[in-house]
Structure 1
Amino acid sequence: TPSKHMQLFRAALESTSSGSILVTKAKVTHLQMSQIIKPFVIQHFSNYLEELDWSILQKNSPPSKHLLDKY
């Protein structure tokens, strides 16, 4: 399991006098990863959200015009 691998890795690293280790080359290049991982898509949702009606939080307040028009 990955956690067991990390425990073994940590134990091996702690047993060295300098704390240095050898690592192998990556199996995937940077160019290959750029084809696999696509850039994020940021969407702006403000056009889809209705304007908040804070008057409904107050007791005995009349419904707002927006609420009356909606229903």
Structure 2
Amino acid sequence: MKEMFANFRAVRKVRQKPAHKLEDNEFDQKYVADQRELISKAFDAVHTLRMVLKNHPAARKDEVPDYLREAKVWTM
């Protein structure tokens, strides 16, 4: 859970600066790697949250499809 919240905070922190400031467009290959890492962390956080909610007693009767439970996503 701590990692999930840390990942959500990391995404929010990265998005805050560009959301409130105008900057010229800039291309740098490092943004591709940074974006891939951030997306991977965000996916892990959303997957963890989905599983936490699935394990809530009120949601136990609902089925989670295999593809969501296994979370097989290409990340490289």
TM-score interval, normalised by the smaller of the two chains: under 0.3
Q: Which protein has the bigger helix share?
A: 2
TM-score by length of 2: 0.24
Larger Rg: 1
